[in-house]
Amino acid sequence: MSTRRTKTREKILLAAWKLLEASPPISVRMSDIAKETGISRQALYQHFPARSELLIATARYLDEVKDVDVRLAPSRSAKSGAERLDAFIEAWGNYIPEIYGVAKAFLAMKDTDPAVAAAWEDRMQAVKHGCNAVILALKKDGTLSPNFPPKKATDILWTMLSVRNWEQYRFECGFSQRTYIKTMKQVSKRLLFIDTTNSNK
Amino acid sequence: MSTRRTKTREKILLAAWKLLEASPPISVRMSDIAKETGISRQALYQHFPARSELLIATARYLDEVKDVDVRLAPSRSAKSGAERLDAFIEAWGNYIPEIYGVAKAFLAMKDTDPAVAAAWEDRMQAVKHGCNAVILALKKDGTLSPNFPPKKATDILWTMLSVRNWEQYRFECGFSQRTYIKTMKQVSKRLLFIDTTNSNK
DNA sequence: TTTGGTTGTTGACATGGTGTCAATTAAGTA
DNA sequence: TACTTAATTGACACCATGTCAACAACCAAA
């Protein structure tokens, strides 16, 4: 039971997380994380062979703590496709701000580090699967617009809900988080639902 | 007439452009640009005090060569709002791939360099103004959906047409450039047009 | 054609961040 | 207490950016 090692490791991940999620955002160096943890920079490398590994481990740690599956439960148990769409946007859309710091670090590094790119890709594919499930539920209900084949509808929804777009809406367009969620629901419905004389209230 | 200086400067910009636009994309260092230009790395700094300045100058050079205004002319002279929307998407959407290499370099650097961030911001605001003009034309026609106030419609269209989204559609979703354009036209129409018994063919 | 100023070249060096290594100290446990 | 594991310190390699100084090549005008 290397309890000491485990404890330090967790302290490191916690420190990394805290710094990455700091606002205003700062550039987080290995030395910053070491200082925040209360150990030497070199000791960091005994736990994580590279910055990229530490980043990936931090993401995994987040996954664990934040329990994504629980958050997505309402979406999965929704009765109609419409409800499922709303629940999914609610869950994922409100998850983004909680992971944004780490996500930003991933996005900044994925162009230079293949391992980071792969880890990011994984997570984004998971989101895409979520989108796809929503689209399939709509199709099953017969409420998916015939304008878009399911695959394409998935691509569109997925792109619409990207972290980059969240970033733009929040920081460039000045949307509040609430407005963001409301808008995404509104837009996705208008876009993906079959045309009826539907009033989207 | 420092014709020699001017000539070298242009050679540098051309080299930078060529390398940034290279496919597959590569990370472009000052030494790479120097080599491509046929001068020493240090000589580069006699023309551009920093990498960021060189990048910004390259963008300006692109602006000049590519003549954005001419491309946007069809959009501005469109008769209806609908035509204007199509023309704008066509112009901007087909412009993106031509500047993508440089845009990518901007996006990678704007988080660390304020000057780069400002230059990028400028260009994106120009695009946003284009989007806004489109929305206003729709409103004037009375064909803008009442679901979205003009400002919000602009934000949505602008975000939809971001370089990041183009990137995702092209490389993540595997859209062809043609499919991308077609999809953006289709989505924007469906989203922004007032509900009539419109068949979007 | 020589002189002078501009442009480019070479080599050396500072900086800042990542990652490595070796020797040493401090804990924690058998 | 003795052994193992974890952390510390200090030094160093690497790589990209950016700076500096001394020197060479070029072009133009007198």
A11-34: per-residue pLDDT in tens?
Answer: 999 999 999 999 999 999 999 999
Choices 1.10.1740.10, 1.10.357.10, 1.10.10.10, 3.40.718.10: CATH for B65-192: 1.10.357.10
Query: What mean pLDDT is predicted for residues B6-27?
Result: 95
A145, A158, A169 member nearest B159 (Cβ): A169
CATH topology assigned to domain B3-48? Arc Repressor Mutant, subunit A (1.10.10)
* CA–C1' gap, A159 and C6, in angstroms: 53
SS3 letters across chain A: CCHHHHHHHHHHHHHHHHHHCCCCCCCCCHHHHHHHHCCCHHHHHHHCCCHHHHHHHHHHHHHHHHCHHHHHHHHHCCCCHHHHHHHHHHHHHHHHHHHHHHHHHHHHHCCCCHHHHHHHHHHHHHHHHHHHHHHHHHHHHCCECCCCCHHHHHHHHHHHCCHHHHHHHHHHCCCCHHHHHHHHHHHHHHHHECCCCCCCC
Does residue B1 surpass a pLDDT of 60?
no
Q: Which residue ranges in chain A fall short of pLDDT 70?
A: 1-2, 196-201
Whether nucleic acid strand D comes within 7 Å of the CB of A39, the answer is yes
Nearest CA in chain A to B187: A191
Comma-separated ranges of CATH 1.10.357.10 domains in chain A: 67-192
pLDDT given at position A25: 92
pLDDT at A4: 75
> Which chain B residues are within 8 Å of A156, Cβ to Cβ?
183, 187
Give the pLDDT confidence score for residue B197 in this predicted structure: 52
Checking if the pLDDT of B27 tops 90, the result is yes
Say whether pLDDT at B123 is over 50: yes
Work out the average pLDDT over B148-163: 98
Question: How far: A40 CA to C16 C1' (Å)?
Answer: 18
Mean pLDDT along residues B74-89: 95
Contact with chain B for residue A183, Cβ under 8 A: yes
Asked if strand C comes closer than 7 Å to B31 Cβ, the answer is: no
| Residue contacts between A and B (CB atoms, under 8 Å) | 59
| CATH tag, A67-192 | 1.10.357.10
**Portion of chain B with pLDDT greater than 70, in percent:** 96
